[in-house]
Structure 1
Amino acid sequence: MDAMSTVTTLQSSTDVLFLMLGAVMVFAMHAGFAFLEVGTVRKKNQVNAFVKIITDWSVSTILYFLIGFPLAYGISFLKPAGDIMANQGYDLVHYFFLLCFAACIPAIISGGIAERAKFWPQVAAGAIFAAITYPLFESLIWGKNASLLQDFFKSVGGAEFHDYAGSVVVHSIGGWLALPAVLILGPRMGRYVRTKSHPIPVSNIPFLALGSWILAVGWFGFNVMSAGHLDKISGLVAVNSLMAMIGGVLAALVAGKNDPGFVHNGALAGLIAVCAGSDIMHPLGAFATGCIAAVIFVYGFHIEQEKLRIDDVLGVWPLHGIIGSWGGIAAGIFGLKGLGGMGGVSFVSQLLGSLAAIIFALASSFIVYGVLSKTVGIRLNEDEEFAGADLSIHSIGAYPEEHVR
């Protein structure tokens, strides 16, 4: 009996370590979000990007602990410490891991609304999304209420909606939540003047590239550690993530005509798209998924910015929203046995699940940002925007010595 107890404890401990390492890798991705935004925005808004990301992370941490995780999974930590240490504290580290997913939502939105959004209203919006909006959808796909929606998908499409690591649950939700915020805010000053588009150049290609690299490395924790337990780890998930990433890079290199911004975002496009089906696709299917995702981003970004005139600074709607939706659908294509996949997935269910996320996110975001816009306001005034969010909100620039006289 002692030997059996020791084995059980050891297994629980390895699962805790496995998931904790994954959580740390995904936590590190938030540095990637920060540097990606800092490299894209103008120098006068770089401090704001850093402070937004770490503040949103901190607020998400406490609210997902108290509200979001219990809402999604029915597990509360409002009890003595000894009572939440079952299985070496697995539920606690599982919360940590899934918090890193939940906190991606405000981090994604941050890139779309950059350079002209008020600070505290956006923190409030991110808090609502991390505490309530995201966990509600999470509960319907992965959590305690999954049967409510999954039974419907299965009855209509013949299989449950499959989203292994969050193409739809995380990225699509984040990107489609960002769209109403960007629309309500309107474009930055000088971005569109009368009938002409005036693209605003990025400030720092090395920072942008660093952000992409940090995100890409952390993504292997995002995808591989979604197994949740060491004995369920899959080498297929790791290689599919790799193949989708390099598919995204190469396709963006061609479609984007060597543009470094497209190349580094192409890597992210591939990784976003493969999350849903990374456990069931053949590596060549994952490569194709990543290639298509990058092409969607390159042309989608151009259509968004120049045809629709939507000033989404980092292109988070096409990158996370549209490509996240593509990832959900792609799992229903390249996950099929006829295309070398593992099977057990339905194109119809994948399409329905992806559409459900779009509707849910758009409705939620229009409500939240609509109310904030009509009450406290969500945009800096013209003088504040002209001076830059760094000085207007934080009273210091990215290079303080430049302001010393």
Structure 2
Amino acid sequence: MENVVSGLDVFFVLMGAILVFAMHAGFAFLEVGTVRHKNQVNALVKIIVDFAVSMVAYFLVGYMVAYGTGFLVSATVLSGAEVVEGHDFGLSGFGLVKFFFLLTFAAAIPAIISGGIAERAKFWPQAMATAIVVGVVYPFFEGLVWNGNFGFQDWMTESFGAAFNDFAGSIVVHAMGGWIALGAVVMLGVRRGRYRRDGSPAGIPPSSIPFLALGTWLLCIGWFGFNVMSAQSVEGINGLVAMNSLLAMGGGILAALLAGRNDPGFVHNGALAGLVAVCAGSNVMHPVGSFAVGAVAGVIFVVFFQLCHNRWKIDDVLGVWPLHGLCGLWGGIACGIFGLEALGGMGGVTFMSQLVGSLIGAAFACVAGFAVYGLLKVTIGIRLGEEEEFRGADLSIHQVGANPEQDLTAQG
């Protein structure tokens, strides 16, 4: 029976990893549908290459930083057939599918950042930033929260009455990606032509609403692997997580529909805002509370996306800081409100623990974002030249457009 249970756990986590891996196609098509036609190829290539770079960085360094386990041992040990000190991968190689699952989370960080820096970022400096973020920055905080490194969770419990609860990564993944992206976006500066001489924004509509919608649907479907399978065992599965994710998604959609006045971009991103926010407390909140958390997140996205672009002149192309950074921060804090028994939650959380843990995560990510992209900016440069940006990243970096045959016909 032990072998059967371990095999089921391996299969369960593997299916979760595949679902979250599929979310990266959602990130890609969400960006493809939002950026201008001349930057669509770059969006596709950038996200799949970032995943590969993330895989290498997390395999060689990141997983060791977070969990103290490396993979440079024999295949016998990796499969679980043999256990050596410091390298117990479990029956059926459970530790290997756990790595795959957690890698898909880690690789979401550069996928999130990609949407903010779209249309004007150099290719190879971004790949270098990905290696640094996924190899060192992200796993350091991941290890604090999900592995209790450096006594972080013990300190939270002693100081605020409960450990910091971030079940599926509102802070560890989404706020981390969103606040790092803020540093990257500010370091890059605004796209040329984004604002007129009088400072008013020049409208740049999405290039393809269908692709944008496809990206959202892929992300929403994969998100149930992201949230539910964060239990990482068959025994730990709980339908409450699925229900809370569903209700938060619906709350985000409806709130963004109203706040965004039926704008399709806001509606589709509203679903994602709700899902981002519910990650932290999806294991402890009541579905009604999750609906409220998702609805607030939908409004946060709409309001702060408009403030970023229209008032603050922060050219965050896909709005990843409002979506992941601010909605993720709200989700971490909201877990300490709607997770309380007094509001129908399961308890085991405190408001102060969630507030402090969330703010620490956001602050750490923000500082890291400005540091990493600031260093790359002053050393090798992170932005395309003026002519390259005018031509578009597709032709400037990849020497091919999204529809090569049409381009050739037009030239002829």
CA–CA distance in structure 2, aligned partners of residues 143 and 44 of structure 1: 43
Tell me if the contact between 2:148 and 2:154 (Cα under 8 Å) persists in the aligned partners.
no
Q: CA RMSD in A?
A: 0.8
User: How far did 1:74 drift?
Assistant: 1.1
Aligned positions of 1:250-269 closer than 5 A? 250-269=254-273
- Specify which of 170, 191, 195 is matched with residue 192 of structure 1: 195
Q: Deviations over 1:282-330 (max 9, x none)?
A: 0000000000000000001111111111000000000000100000001
Which residue pairs with 2:67 in the alignment?
Answer: 73
Q: Which amino acid aligns with 1:170?
A: V
Which residue pairs with 1:391 in the alignment?
Answer: 395
Tell me, yes or no, if structure 1 residue 164 matches structure 2 residue 158. Answer: no
User: How far did 1:402 drift?
Assistant: 2.1
The percentage of aligned residue pairs carrying the same residue is 62
Which residue pairs with 1:307 in the alignment?
Answer: 311
Matched residue of 1:75: which SS? Answer: coil
Which residue pairs with 2:186 in the alignment?
Answer: 183
In the alignment of these two chains, the number of paired residues is: 398
Q: Which amino acid aligns with 1:317?
A: W
Flag structure 1 segments of 5+ consecutive residues without an equivalent: 1-6
Tell me if the contact between 1:74 and 1:144 (Cα under 8 Å) persists in the aligned partners.
no
CA–CA distance in structure 1, aligned partners of residues 158 and 2 of structure 2: 38
User: How far did 1:144 drift?
Assistant: 5.2
Which residue pairs with 2:83 in the alignment?
Answer: none
Tell me, yes or no, if structure 1 residue 24 matches structure 2 residue 18. Answer: yes
Tell me if the contact between 1:281 and 1:335 (Cα under 8 Å) persists in the aligned partners.
yes
Tell me, yes or no, if structure 1 residue 323 matches structure 2 residue 327. Answer: yes
Q: Which amino acid aligns with 1:379?
A: R
Tell me, yes or no, if structure 1 residue 293 matches structure 2 residue 271. Answer: no
Tell me, yes or no, if structure 1 residue 15 matches structure 2 residue 9. Answer: yes
CA–CA distance in structure 2, aligned partners of residues 305 and 149 of structure 1: 37
- Specify which of 193, 215, 218 is matched with residue 222 of structure 2: 218
Matched residue of 1:197: which SS? Answer: coil
Tell me, yes or no, if structure 1 residue 382 matches structure 2 residue 386. Answer: yes
CA–CA distance in structure 2, aligned partners of residues 39 and 380 of structure 1: 21
User: How far did 1:156 drift?
Assistant: 2.2
- Specify which of 90, 97, 106 is matched with residue 101 of structure 2: 97
Which residue pairs with 1:130 in the alignment?
Answer: 134
Tell me, yes or no, if structure 1 residue 401 matches structure 2 residue 405. Answer: yes
Which residue pairs with 1:56 in the alignment?
Answer: 50
Matched residue of 2:235: which SS? Answer: helix
Tell me if the contact between 1:328 and 1:351 (Cα under 8 Å) persists in the aligned partners.
yes
- Specify which of 339, 342, 348 is matched with residue 346 of structure 2: 342
CA–CA distance in structure 2, aligned partners of residues 93 and 380 of structure 1: 38
Which residue pairs with 1:174 in the alignment?
Answer: 177
User: How far did 1:157 drift?
Assistant: 1.4
Matched residue of 2:364: which SS? Answer: helix
User: How far did 1:152 drift?
Assistant: 2.1
Which residue pairs with 1:152 in the alignment?
Answer: 155
Flag structure 2 segments of 5+ consecutive residues without an equivalent: 81-90
CA–CA distance in structure 2, aligned partners of residues 327 and 48 of structure 1: 31
Matched residue of 1:273: which SS? Answer: helix
Q: Using structure 1 for the length normalisation, give the TM-score.
A: 0.97
Q: Using structure 2 for the length normalisation, give the TM-score.
A: 0.96
Query: Comparing 364-373 with 225-234, which one deviates more in the overlay?
Result: 364-373
- Specify which of 347, 353, 360 is matched with residue 356 of structure 1: 360
**Segments ≥4 residues shifted beyond 6 Å:** none
User: How far did 1:193 drift?
Assistant: 2.3
Which residue pairs with 1:4 in the alignment?
Answer: none
Which residue pairs with 1:245 in the alignment?
Answer: 249
CA–CA distance in structure 1, aligned partners of residues 367 and 258 of structure 2: 36
Which residue pairs with 1:206 in the alignment?
Answer: 210
User: How far did 1:196 drift?
Assistant: 1.7
Q: Deviations over 1:324-365 (max 9, x none)?
A: 000000100000000000001010010001110111111111
CA–CA distance in structure 2, aligned partners of residues 199 and 105 of structure 1: 28
Tell me if the contact between 1:269 and 1:294 (Cα under 8 Å) persists in the aligned partners.
yes
Q: Deviations over 1:111-170 (max 9, x none)?
A: 00000000000010011111110000000000250x522122222211111000000000
CA–CA distance in structure 1, aligned partners of residues 105 and 94 of structure 2: 17
Aligned positions of 1:79-90 closer than 5 A? 79-86=73-80, 87-90=91-94
CA–CA distance in structure 1, aligned partners of residues 232 and 184 of structure 2: 33
Tell me if the contact between 1:72 and 1:144 (Cα under 8 Å) persists in the aligned partners.
no
Q: Which amino acid aligns with 1:301?
A: F
